[in-house]
């Protein structure tokens, strides 16, 4: 008995003498967890749970039989810290069980119960994580899924799409309305008998479908999907799980995973790559976000007064420069590539992220697949405490490795500033826009014939190579191109406005760089004049497929321009040096609204001498041509590589508000 008492008192003494958990004075002191197994690791025999939070005094795991918020946990387990990760190993089959984490800080405060930041599956509204067998979610043929071929980033034509917009309108003819599976349906037709949905996208000829946020976001209540709800999804809740409202059963985490994979595979089968719009710059919640409740303070930047900094304009900004935040983002995009076969990423407000993190992400993704495409918004929505010199701003694009940025220079040069709705642009006759158009033509690269002092927003080239420049006229943000042209050109006829619209898209699709189209712009998409439709109704946001018949000329024109771009390497020069060598601007100095250039002797292109001209004037203009006989292959409303009209000598008429492309015979 005395030996048992001795052992008891010895253990008690050791417990009281054990060092308390460390309290770190700064985030820089936090230990790094070096492995890639945070979250859950499932086998039928056991499931291991891990999460990282160095500066708390304790952590709990709760296991639930369902995602019913009224249900009490089946188990509540104290986690132990092993190798700087809070860990629990449950030696039973927990397949399809739900779970949460909860921590206690060093002041004894029990913080809110939260879903796992590294969750791979979720129940309704993402409040509880779910244990699933990811292998069982693979659709038929998933092991043989391959990315469609892509020889170079310059070959990319991007189509930016909201999952719900595609299929909600009654004219879509799509059964799985507002769902990932809506993008898998073929043979769908408008009331006029024209293709819609996936068939339409494939026939248009684009290479990549850019999906607006399709990870789990906050603003749609997945328990009320019988009620109309819409949001763009820029309010992240769970970064590593598909959005539940786009699945047929948000309560079962397996379903959204399986249906997202099915969507990707179907798009791949039809020759289309998939780009995810990712929003790692901020979270939808701030003080009560899972990062703040489980890892207090670490994931966010703060102002000197201790308040949350807000470069996102959404209440907070993520501190991507911190090692474990950088690791989180990198591992997240790696997961989407490896588990879901995603082909690229568009980073929302990329200018909030630090350059080093973006380059590490690029290096990691390109090590997985060299053809993955990365781009983002090279700006912020507010000031950040991180110095400009360290952030992935548009001006710092030369420091980014194989990462592209949107060119607001050509966007606003074409149609006018997005901040001044009545302002005109080049396509509607605004002078002082010529150099901004030329800047876009050369893909924001260095060219001796561009006067950078006269470019609207940039006084120097910011793209090392043309594939770092995304040329576009419009996107989900701000007005649609069609609505904006109506606002800034009151009293102009619809036919004239359609000419301006086609000219804008012709500039995008004949310029060097990467071409980007807002879904439905080829149908003159309208949102009834609404600018910021992020939570507007389906009636505002859904693509009206009857417009394909009404505006067939513009649809066919865009389709023809895409085909021409893909067929001729001259419109997709690979390097800045190639643009400087082969692209020469023609002399139109006497006309502020006439831009013309020639492209000559591009290897592996059977068109050896091309002339392209854009006329932003309200009347026709004549352009002097280099010596020879020229064939028009595109004008303001038609594209025909076989030729339009008779051959042209010496001079050609360029119609008002239109583009023209000629090939030397």
Active site residues: 348, 377
Q: Are 284 and 232 in contact (CB under 8 A)?
A: no
For residue 605, give Cα distances in angstroms to 525, 562, 565: 34, 16, 11
**CB-based burial label for 76 (10 Å; 0-12, 13-18, 19+):** exposed
3-class DSSP assignment, residue 260: helix
**CB-based burial label for 642 (10 Å; 0-12, 13-18, 19+):** exposed
Q: Which positions ≥6 away from 132 have C-beta within 8 Å?
A: 42, 95, 96, 120, 121, 253, 254, 257
Residues paired with 276 in a beta bridge? 211, 345
Q: How far apart are the first and last CA of the chain?
A: 107
Strands (E), 458-498: 469-471
- In whole angstroms, give the CA distance from residue 496 to residue 474: 19
Q: How many C-alpha atoms does 345 have within 13 Å on its Cβ side? A: 25
- In whole angstroms, give the CA distance from residue 281 to residue 322: 13
- Tokens read off for 43: 């086998």
For 336, list phi and psi in degrees, rounded to 5.
-65, -35
3-class DSSP assignment, residue 294: helix
For residue 2, give Cα distances in angstroms to 5, 7, 9, 497: 5, 9, 11, 97
**CB-based burial label for 193 (10 Å; 0-12, 13-18, 19+):** exposed
The number of beta carbons lying within 10 Å of the beta carbon of residue 154 is 22
For residue 395, give Cα distances in angstroms to 448, 451, 457, 462, 516: 19, 17, 10, 6, 20
């Amino acid at each position: 008995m005395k030996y048992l008492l001795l052992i008891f008192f010895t253990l008690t003494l050791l417990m009281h003498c054990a060092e308390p958990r460390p309290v770190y004075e700064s985030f820089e002191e936090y230990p790094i967890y070096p492995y890639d197994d945070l979250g859950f690791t499932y086998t039928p025999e056991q499931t291991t749970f891990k999460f990282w939070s160095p500066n708390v005094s304790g952590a709990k795991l709760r296991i639930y039989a369902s995602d019913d918020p009224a249900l009490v946990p089946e188990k509540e387990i104290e986690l132990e810290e092993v190798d700087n990760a809070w860990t629990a190993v449950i030696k039973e089959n927990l397949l399809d069980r739900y779970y949460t984490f909860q921590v206690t800080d060093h002041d004894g405060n029990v913080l809110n119960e939260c879903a796992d930041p590294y969750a791979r599956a979720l129940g309704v509204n993402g409040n509880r994580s779910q244990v699933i067998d990811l292998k069982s979610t693979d659709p038929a043929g998933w092991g043989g899924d391959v990315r469609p071929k892509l020889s170079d980033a310059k070959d990319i034509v991007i189509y930016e799409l909201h999952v719900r917009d595609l299929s909600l309108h009654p004219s879509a003819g799509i059964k799985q309305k507002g769902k990932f599976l809506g993008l898998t349906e073929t043979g769908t037709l408008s009331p006029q008998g024209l293709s819609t949905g996936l068939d339409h996208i494939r026939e248009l000829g684009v290479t990549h479908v850019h999906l607006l946020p399709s990870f789990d976001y906050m603003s749609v209540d997945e328990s009320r999907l019988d009620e109309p709800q819409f949001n763009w999804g820029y309010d992240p809740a769970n970064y590593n799980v598909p959005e539940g409202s786009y699945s047929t059963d948000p309560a079962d985490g397996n379903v959204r995973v399986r249906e997202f994979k099915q969507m990707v595979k179907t798009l791949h089968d039809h020759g289309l790559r998939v780009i995810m719009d990712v929003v790692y710059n901020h979270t939808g919640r701030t003080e009560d976000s899972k990062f703040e409740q489980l890892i207090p303070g670490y994931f966010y930047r703060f102002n000197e007064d201790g308040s949350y900094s807000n470069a996102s304009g959404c209440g907070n900004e993520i501190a991507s420069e911190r090692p474990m935040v950088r690791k989180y983002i990198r591992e997240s995009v790696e997961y989407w590539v490896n588990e879901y076969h995603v082909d690229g990423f568009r980073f929302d407000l990329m200018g909030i992220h630090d350059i080093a993190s973006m380059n590490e992400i690029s290096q990691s993704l390109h090590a997985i697949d060299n053809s993955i495409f990365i781009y983002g918004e090279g700006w912020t929505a507010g000031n950040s405490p991180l110095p400009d010199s360290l952030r992935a701003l548009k001006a710092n694009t030369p420091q980014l490795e194989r990462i592209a940025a949107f060119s607001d220079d050509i966007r606003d040069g074409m149609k006018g500033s997005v901040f001044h709705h009545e302002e005109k642009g080049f396509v509607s006759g605004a002078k002082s826009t010529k150099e901004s158009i030329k800047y876009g033509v050369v893909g924001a690269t260095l060219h001796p014939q561009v006067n950078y002092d006269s470019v609207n927003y940039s006084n120097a080239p910011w793209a090392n190579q043309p594939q770092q420049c995304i040329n576009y006229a419009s996107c989900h943000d701000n007005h649609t191109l069609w609505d904006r042209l109506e606002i800034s050109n009151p009293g102009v006829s619809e036919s004239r406005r359609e000419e301006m619209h086609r000219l804008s898209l012709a500039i995008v699709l004949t310029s060097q760089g990467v071409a980007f189209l807002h879904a439905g712009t080829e149908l003159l998409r309208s949102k009834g004049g609404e600018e910021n439709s992020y939570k507007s109704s389906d009636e505002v946001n859904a693509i009206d497929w009857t417009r394909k018949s009404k505006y067939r000329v513009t649809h066919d024109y865009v389709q023809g321009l895409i085909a021409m771009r893909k067929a001729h390497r001259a419109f997709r020069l690979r390097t800045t040096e190639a643009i400087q060598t082969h692209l020469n601007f023609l002399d139109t100095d006497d006309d502020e609204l006439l831009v013309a250039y020639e492209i000559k002797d591009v290897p592996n292109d059977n068109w050896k001498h091309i002339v392209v001209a854009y006329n932003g004037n309200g009347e026709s203009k004549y352009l002097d041509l280099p010596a020879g006989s020229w064939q028009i292959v595109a004008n303001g409303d038609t594209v025909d590589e076989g030729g339009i009209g008779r051959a042209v000598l010496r001079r050609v008429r360029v119609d008002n508000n239109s583009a023209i492309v000629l090939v030397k015979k």
